[in-house]
Chains A and B, each alone.
Chain A
C-alpha cells in the first residue's frame, strides 16, 4: 500500500456463459468496462489509465492482446499496463491498478480482466508437455486432485465436505444473475451421483469453463469522497498483498502453501485484522474445485490447520453462517479464468457497498477478496471496507 487512499467506485461484469457467441473479445471487455464506468458515473475520457489482466496468452492464442484492446478500452494515448499471474491475475491486476492511485500517480484507473474460454484451449494450455516425459495430467483438476487427497488424509475430513461446498456455491449462484451456472435442480444427491473426474473431484464439484469479463473503476480519496457525497458508497481498499512461490520447490506444502499464509497475514496486518474469523464479515475466495474451500479457510487463517472442513460442515460458510464464503456462487459457478480473481475482489467490494442484490449479506463492513493461480503458487488478496483505512 502506498501513501494515498484508494476506493472502488465502480463495478461491472458481463453475463458469463459457456460461449458468448454474440461478442468479440473487445466487445466482451467493453460490456464489463462500460457497466463499471456507468456505475461510477464516468465515461472513457474520465479515466487516467487502464490496467488489464488475463490468463496466459496461450489460452486464446493471441499474443499481447492488450495492444489491440487499448483502443477498445478508451485507452488511446493513455498509459496501459498488463499483468500476468496465471489464475490469480484478476486479483493481481486490481492490486496493480490500486497501486497506481496509492502511489499518487493517477486519480481514476479502470481495471479489466477477462477470459474467452470458448475461443481458448485452456485444458491443453494448462497441460504443458515436459520434453521426453509422458503427459502426467490433463487440465487443472488432474493437477490439484493429489493436493486434495493429501488434505483429506491430513485433516481426516469426511468424504461429503466437497459435495457440501458444491451444493452451497451452486445454490448461492442462483441468486447471482451474472453467474454462468444456474442449476435450479441441484441437490446433494445429484452432486454425489455426478461423474468422478479426478478422484475425489466429481463433475459437479468442478468449475465450469466460461466466457466473461470483470471491470472495476478505482478512485483516489477525492474521487471516492465525491462519489459518497452523491450517494454512491465507495469500498475502501484497506489492504492489498501478493505472494508467490516456485512450482517445483521440494519443500513446498501445496495443501497449506506458505505463500498463501504470508499473503493473508500481510493483508490482515494492513487492514487491522487480528482475528480473521471475527473481524471479517464476508469472504470471496478462489474455489475452482469444491475442496479448496476448507483448504483455503485454513490457509487464510479462518480455521486452524485440519479444522476448515468443520466450518463448512457446520454451515459457518453459508449465506446465513457467521462467515459467509462465496456469496456470488464463486468460481464453481463462473470461471472466465483471467477474470475469476477480479470477480472475487469485485464481489467483496459489492458486499461492502451494499450492491450485491439477492446475494447481499446484511451489514458487511469488512470483506476479503482472494485469488490463487498457477500450481497453487500465486496469491493475491485485498480487504475492502466501509471505513477509510
Chain B
C-alpha cells in the first residue's frame, strides 16, 4: 500500500481520567473510624438493646436514629471462618490466613476480619481473638492490620 502513513507521524496525547471518589462517613460510622485511629472499637445500641458492630446509623428494624455508642472488645470470639490456602496480591496477609467473623466482647453482631494463624488447625469457632493495630492509623478499617489468636496453642477442640 503506497499511501500507508508512516507510524512515526501519528500524533498522540495522554488521556488519563481518574475518579477520586470521596465519602462522608457521618456521625456514627465516622465515630467508629475515628475510634480505630485511637485503638478503640465502638458499636451502636439498637432499640432492642443489641449492640451492633460496626455501628449502624439507624435501627435495622424500626429505621429510627441510633445515637448511643458503646465501647466493645478489643477481644472477641470467632463465630465462623474460612481458611485461605493461597493468598493473592490484594489479600491483607501474604501467608495462608483465615477470613473470620469476630463477635467482640459486648457486641451482639460479628464483624469481618483477617486472622493470622500458624495453620488451619489453630483456628476454631469460639476461639478468642484480638486486633493487631497498624503502626500508623488514619481512621480507616485497615487500622486493624489483622486479627490474632489470644491463645495460639489452644487449637481445635
Residues in chain A within 8 A of chain B (CB atoms): 19-27, 30, 44-45, 60-61, 71-76, 116, 118-121, 124, 129, 135
A21-B63 in contact (CB<8A): no
Contacts of B17 in A (CB 8 A): 124, 129
A119-B64 in contact (CB<8A): no
Contacts of A73 in B (CB 8 A): 63
A26-B19 in contact (CB<8A): no
A24-B26 in contact (CB<8A): yes
With A121-B21, A129-B17, A135-B15 known as contacts, the answer to whether A76 contacts B61 (CB < 8 A) is yes
Known: A27-B26, A27-B27, A72-B58. 18 other contacts (CB 8 A): A19-B24, A24-B57, A27-B57, A30-B58, A44-B64, A45-B62, A60-B21, A61-B19, A71-B56, A74-B62, A75-B63, A76-B60, A76-B63, A118-B22, A119-B21, A119-B24, A121-B20, A129-B17
Closest to B26 in A: A24
Closest to B13 in A: A134
Give 9 nearest A-B pairs by CB, closest first: A74-B63, A24-B26, A44-B63, A61-B21, A27-B26, A121-B19, A23-B26, A119-B22, A21-B24
Binary A-proximity of B9-44 (CB < 8 A = 1, otherwise 0): 000000101011111111101100000000000000
Contacts of A75 in B (CB 8 A): 63
A-B contact pairs, 21 of them (CB 8 A): A22-B26, A23-B26, A24-B23, A27-B26, A27-B27, A30-B65, A61-B21, A71-B60, A72-B57, A73-B63, A76-B60, A76-B61, A76-B63, A118-B24, A119-B21, A119-B24, A120-B21, A121-B19, A124-B17, A129-B17, A135-B15
User: How many A-B residue pairs lie within 8 Å, measured between CB atoms?
Assistant: 64
Contacts of B21 in A (CB 8 A): 60-61, 119-121
Q: How far is the CA of A124 from the CA of B21 in the complex (A)?
A: 12
Residues in chain B within 8 A of chain A (CB atoms): 15, 17, 19-27, 29-30, 56-58, 60-65
Contacts of B25 in A (CB 8 A): 24
Partner of B23, one of A76, A119, A124: A119
Q: Is the interface of B mostly helix, strand, loop or mixed?
A: loop
A71-B63 in contact (CB<8A): yes
Q: How far is the CA of A116 from the CA of B26 in the complex (A)?
A: 13
A44-B62 in contact (CB<8A): yes
Q: How far is the CA of A124 from the CA of B60 in the complex (A)?
A: 35
Contacts of A74 in B (CB 8 A): 62-63
Contacts of B62 in A (CB 8 A): 44-45, 74
**Distance in Å from the Cβ of A46 to the closest Cβ of chain B?**
11
Contacts of A44 in B (CB 8 A): 62-64
Contacts of A45 in B (CB 8 A): 62-63
